[in-house]
Structures are given as structure tokens and as C-alpha cells.
């Protein structure tokens, strides 16, 4: 059973045979809210996320974050006997998460037709770079490629510089969000509408393409191709980041007319309200260089604290640009319990983002961080599947688990 038996997904069994970021992020979301997520890893090297990114005394922080609240079992599903064990596990599951290259599971006789024959209610989430169909389906796919081909990189950054990729797995995480609510749609169809299980096909490229806005519609209707605009907005002004007197940064957005007027009050320039260059949004966009220069000049004479106080006094919209240390020290994050401290055998006391969103009756929580490789072999193969000690020992000796 799940470690979180009070969450809204308590009683839901999920088998995750994903690697790196996208698939395991879906598993993390579900595990945070009570699903029993059984994470299958290769017996020799495990999920490559274990060795990805920063290592804290040899322990991968990405693994500890993404594998939290899950049960880790080892299984070589490329081996014939491993495939039998895999089918046994999936026959007990509500959801299967996989993010292999399309066709991989079929080569091992583990496609949806095979698995659903034994478990007709199975919801199978298939995540890949380009989806299960189309001319690019079998190409290797990674988040960076999706960020490039979705149009995101093209509009991200400054006009006189190269397109800018995000510093973390943005496409993977966006795809995981789409995939998570899509799985819940499929479960609703099965459990409430009396439907069957089904395949949910999520690519990395389409979710981020959907979130960048109405660019196709704009192009279709006007011929306009969205361009890079740095920290400015092409829809409203002022909107930018500004350096303060104490060499810190703030982000300002005044997307509505009243907010722009309050901004002028905050910087001590109420006269700008009547300046025809800045009187309305269209004029401000046409004269954005001059407007930004005026605001930056004022920022240069004030510390970040003074800037924030002035804007708060006038109910104008501004925020400090935080690094992670600022976030952990912020009273609002603390009041919301956005970060929790978890005891971990490898890291000791460790801080990590809490389960979100907040539920009034069935909240999620973080009970433990990513487990050791195969830590739950005995309880899953023994308690869940009912394998006796001799069978488990035989599978270990054959290096199947």
C-alpha cells in the first residue's frame, strides 16, 4: 500500500517504468497524493536520474526529489523472465507510466494489447519526445529538442542574441503536468463513466507548444511571427526587470491601465500620467525605451527594500527576483509550508518542495525521499505478488531482479 494512505489517491496502484524527468515526475505527483507508485529500475544501474546533476556526497538530489514517496524495485524487463514478472505487476495496477522510445515495449511483447488482455482497466501513460505516431515518433526525444521545436526557444531571450533555452527541464515538467491530469481524466472515464482502460499518448513537444500562447492563431490571422523581446512584453508596458541601488533585481509588471498609473505614483512621477507618450498602453509600448529608462533611473537611486516599500504603498505590482536562498528565507513561503524538512538516511535532514496544491481534507505530503535501488523488492515481490522466498532468490541469482 501507499505510504500516504490518507491522500485523495489512496488505493490507486501505479507501476512506473520511466526514467529521467518526464515519466518520473508524473509518478511523483501521484505518489505525493497517496498513490502506491512502484518504480521499476534496472538491477545494474537503476534510473539514470540517480547519477544526473548535482550529487550531495554521492547521492543525487534529482533522484531524491523525483523518487520520493515511491517504492523502488529492480527488474530487467528485457529478459524473458523479467517480462513475466512485469506482466504480473501490471496486472495488479491501475496505471502504467512508461517513457521509452516508441516501439520498445512492443519489442519485448509488453505493448498495450498484451497488457490490457490481462488487465482491461489499465490506463497506460506513454510519454515520448514526439508521441507514438507521426514521422518523428521513433526519433530520440529530449526536453531540449521540444523546447527548440515547440517555438519556445525562438521567442525566449533577447532580440539581438541567440534563442535561449531554459536552465532546467521545462518541457519535461510541462509534459508531466499534462500527463498527470490526462491520467486522471482516463481514470474518471473508467471509474465514473463505466469505460475501459486506455492509452494516454503524451509527447514532450505538444504540451509546451500549447502553453506558449495563441501564436499559431496570431500568425494565421495576421501573418505575425512572434519574436524575442527579452524581459519586456509585446502586449503591455511597463514590464521588465530593473537593477536597484544595492545591485539587486526587481521584476515589474503593469499589464492593466490602473497598474501603470500606480507605478508612476510609486516612482514619484505622477506627471507621467498626462504625458502623451505614456498615457495609454499603446503609447507606452511605442515609447517603451524611454519609459524603461525613466523607471531604471529611479531604481538606481533606491535600494530593493525601498523600491518594494514604495510600490506596496501605492498598491503597484512588483516583486523581488529571488534566488533559492531568498525563497527559503521568505516568510510567505514559510507560512505556506512550501518547503518541508524530511529525514533521509543518506542526506540527514533535507529540505524539499512540499506536495502541492493544498487540499482541505486530503492533503498530500512527503513521507520520505528517493529510496535505495531495490529497497522494496521483498515487500513488493513477496507481499504484492505473493512470490515465495525461493522464487525471489531464483530471480536474484538470474539477475532478473
**Cα→Cα distances 236→164, 255, 275, 338, Å:** 22, 5, 17, 31
The rounded distance, in Å, linking the Cα atoms of 4 and 202 is 27
Between CA 348 and CA 96 the distance in angstroms is 32
Buried b or exposed e, range 119-156, using 16+ CB within 10 angstroms: beebbbbbbbbbbbeeebbeeebbbbbbbbbbbbbbbb
36, 76, 172, 201: which one is catalytic?
172
Active site residue 160: no
Counting beta carbons within 10 angstroms of the beta carbon of residue 331, is it exposed (0 to 12), middle (13 to 18) or buried (19 or more)?
exposed
Q: How would you label 228-254 residue by residue, b for 16+ Cβ within 10 Å and e otherwise?
A: bbeebbeebbbbbebebeeebebebbb
Task: Measure the CA–CA gap between 22 and 16, rounded to whole angstroms.
Answer: 11
d(CA 69, CA 80): 29
Residue for grid cell 501513460: 125
CB of 130 closer than 8 Å to CB of 147: no
Contact 85, 390 (CB under 8 A): no
Q: What angle do CA 145, 321, 330 make, to 5 degrees?
A: 115
Q: Give the closest residue to 125 by CA, choosing from 110, 112, 108.
A: 112
| Integer Cα distance of 146 and 139 in angstroms | 12
* Structure letter (DSSP) for residue 143: H
For the annotated catalytic residues, the residue numbers are 172
Amino acid at each position: 500500500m501507499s505510504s500516504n494512505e490518507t491522500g485523495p489517491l489512496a488505493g490507486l496502484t501505479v507501476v512506473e517504468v520511466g526514467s529521467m524527468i518526464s515519466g518520473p515526475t508524473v509518478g511523483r505527483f501521484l505518489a505525493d497524493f497517496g498513490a502506491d507508485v512502484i518504480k521499476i529500475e534496472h538491477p545494474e544501474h537503476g534510473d539514470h536520474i540517480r547519477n544526473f546533476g548535482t550529487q550531495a556526497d554521492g547521492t543525487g538530489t534529482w533522484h531524491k526529489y523525483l523518487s520520493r514517496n515511491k517504492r523502488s524495485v529492480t527488474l530487467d524487463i528485457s529478459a524473458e523472465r523479467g517480462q513475466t514478472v512485469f506482466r504480473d505487476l501490471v496486472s495488479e495496477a491501475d496505471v502504467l507510466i512508461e517513457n521509452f522510445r516508441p516501439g520498445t515495449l512492443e519489442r519485448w511483447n509488453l505493448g498495450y494489447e498484451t497488457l490490457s488482455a490481462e488487465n482491461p482497466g489499465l490506463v497506460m501513460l506513454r510519454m515520448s519526445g514526439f508521441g507514438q505516431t507521426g514521422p518523428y515518433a521513433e526519433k530520440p526525444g529530449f526536453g531540449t529538442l521540444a523546447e527548440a521545436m515547440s517555438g519556445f526557444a525562438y521567442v525566449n531571450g533577447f532580440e539581438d542574441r541567440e534563442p535561449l533555452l531554459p536552465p532546467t527541464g521545462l518541457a519535461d515538467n510541462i509534459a508531466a503536468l499534462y500527463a498527470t491530469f490526462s491520467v486522471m481524466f482516463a481514470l474518471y472515464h473508467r471509474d465514473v463513466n463505466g469505460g475501459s482502460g486506455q492509452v494516454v499518448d503524451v509527447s514532450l513537444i505538444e504540451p509546451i507548444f500549447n502553453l506558449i500562447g495563441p501564436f499559431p492563431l496570431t500568425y494565421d490571422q495576421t501573418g505575425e511571427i512572434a519574436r524575442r523581446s527579452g524581459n519586456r512584453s509585446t502586449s503591455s508596458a511597463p514590464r521588465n526587470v530593473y537593477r536597484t541601488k544595492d545591485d539587486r533585481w526587481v521584476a515589474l509588471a503593469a499589464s492593466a491601465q490602473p497598474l501603470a498609473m500606480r507605478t508612476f505614483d510609486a516612482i514619484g512621477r505622477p506627471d507621467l500620467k498626462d504625458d502623451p507618450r505614456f498615457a495609454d498602453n499603446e503609447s507606452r509600448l511605442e515609447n517603451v525605451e524611454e519609459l524603461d529608462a525613466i523607471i531604471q533611473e529611479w531604481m538606481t537611486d533606491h535600494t530593493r527594500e525601498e523600491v518594494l516599500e514604495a510600490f506596496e504603498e501605492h498598491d503597484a505590482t512588483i516583486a523581488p527576483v529571488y534566488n533559492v536562498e531568498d525563497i527559503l528565507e521568505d516568510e510567505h513561503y514559510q507560512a505556506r509550508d512550501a518547503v518541508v524538512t524530511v529525514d533521509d538516511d543518506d542526506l540527514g535532514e533535507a529540505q524539499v518542495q512540499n506536495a502541492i496544491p493544498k487540499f482541505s481534507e486530503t492533503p498530500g505530503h512527503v513521507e520520505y525521499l528517493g529510496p535505495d535501488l531495490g529497497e522494496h523488492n521483498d515487500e513488493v515481490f513477496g507481499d504484492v505478488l505473493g512470490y515465495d522466498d525461493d522464487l525471489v532468490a531464483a530471480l536474484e541469482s538470474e539477475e532478473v531482479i
